[in-house]
Amino acid sequence: MRRREFIKLLGGATAAWPFSVRAQQAARPVIGYLSARSPDDAGTVLQAFLKGLGEAGFFDGQNVTIEYRWARGEYGRLPALAAEFVQRRVNVLATTGGEPSALAAKQATSTIPIVFVAGDPVKAGLVESLNRPGGNATGSYIATSEMEQKRLSLLHELTPGVSLIGVLLNPNFADAARQLRELEEAARIIGRRLVVAKASNDEELNVAFALLLQQWIGALLVATDPYFDTRRDRIIAFAAQNRLPAVYQFREYAFAGGLVSYAPSITDAYRQAGNYTGRVLKGEKPADLPVLQPTKFDFVINLKTAKALGLTVPFGLLNAADEVID
C-alpha cells in the first residue's frame, strides 16, 4: 500500500510540475522588444540594453520575459509588429533602432508604456518635451542624425585632396531632408561637391553603389539610418573594395572594418533605455521620467583600414579619438 501510495503521489507531483512552471512564467512581466534593425547587427547594443535592465533588477528568463520582433531594415513591417505586441498585451514596449520603431509603437497604443532609443523625440511627436514627456513614452534621445556636418568635417580632414564626396542616404528615414540640407550647407562651406545616392532597400542599394562609382567619388559618408545599420557589412565591403575612405555613425562600423565613426555613444543610450524599462516595470510612469541623452561620444579610428587605403591620419585626429584600432 505504501509503495502504491508513493507512486500515486509522485505521479501527481509530476503532473502538477509543468502547470506550476507555466504559472510562474505567466506571472512574469513581458517586455516587447521592437527594433528596426536585425539581430545579426544588434548584438552589442542588445547587450547594453540587457545590462541596463539588469541594473534595475530584471533578468530575462528569471523575473521577466523578453519577446523580440525585428524589422530587419524594412520599416513597413513595423506597424504590424507593434500591433502584435499590443494584442499580446505586453507590459512595456521597448523600441530601438531609431524613430521608425518608436513611431510605430506610438501609433499602435496610447496606454502601454513605451521606452525608446530614437532621434529627436519632440520633433517626432513622441513626447511633449524632454523634461516632461507626458503621455506613455520616454527613453533615450541619441542625436546622431544631427552629427552629419561633424562627420563630413572629419572626412574633409582625412581626405584633403578629395573634391567629390559620395553620400549614402535613405529617403524614407524621418530626418532625411534635414540630413541632406545640412550636408549640402556644410559641403558649400568647405568647398566640396556631393553626389547623393538614395537607397531604402537592397535593390536600391545596388543602384546607389553603381551611381557612386560612375561619378568617381573619392570618399563616402554614410548618413544615419537603421536600414544602413542592417547592411553594415555590405557597405563596409563596398568601401574597402573600391578603396574609398568612409565615415559612419556608430562605433560598430569602425570595429567591423570601417575607417572612422563618430556619434553619441549608442551603447550608453541602450543601457539607459534598459534601465528605464526596468523602472517602468517597477511602476514608474513614462510621463514622469525625463528623456535622457548620452553624455559620452564615440570617435573611433581604424588605423588598420587607414593603412590598407594608404591613408595617413593626421595626428590631431588620432589624439582626439576615443579609440584607435591598430
As a whole number, the mean pLDDT across the chain is 91
Q: How confident is the model at residue 146 (pLDDT cuts 50, 70, 90)?
A: confident
Q: Is residue 70 part of a domain?
A: yes
Domain residues for the domain of 207 are 145-249
Q: Are residues 191 and 136 in the same domain?
A: no
Tally of CB atoms within 10 A around 148: 24
CATH code of the domain containing 209: 3.40.50.2300
Q: Average of pLDDT values for 2-20?
A: 44
Q: Is residue 301 part of a domain?
A: no
Q: Are residues 162 and 181 in the same domain?
A: yes
Q: How confident is the model at residue 16 (pLDDT cuts 50, 70, 90)?
A: very low
Which pLDDT score, from 0 to 100, does residue 41 have? Answer: 87
Q: Are residues 236 and 189 in the same domain?
A: yes
151 neighbors 299 (Cβ within 8 angstroms):
no
Q: Are residues 105 and 159 in the same domain?
A: no
Q: Is residue 259 part of a domain?
A: no
Q: Are residues 132 and 38 in the same domain?
A: yes
Q: Is residue 15 part of a domain?
A: yes
Q: Is the pLDDT of residue 317 over 70?
A: yes
Q: Are residues 156 and 124 in the same domain?
A: no
Q: How confident is the model at residue 26 (pLDDT cuts 50, 70, 90)?
A: low
Higher per-residue pLDDT: 184 or 2? 184
Q: Are residues 117 and 173 in the same domain?
A: no
**CA–CA separation, 201 vs 231, rounded Å?**
10
Q: Average of pLDDT values for 269-280?
A: 97
Tally of CB atoms within 10 A around 21: 10
Q: How confident is the model at residue 134 (pLDDT cuts 50, 70, 90)?
A: very high
- The terminus-to-terminus CA distance of the chain in angstroms comes to 75
Q: Are residues 56 and 22 in the same domain?
A: yes
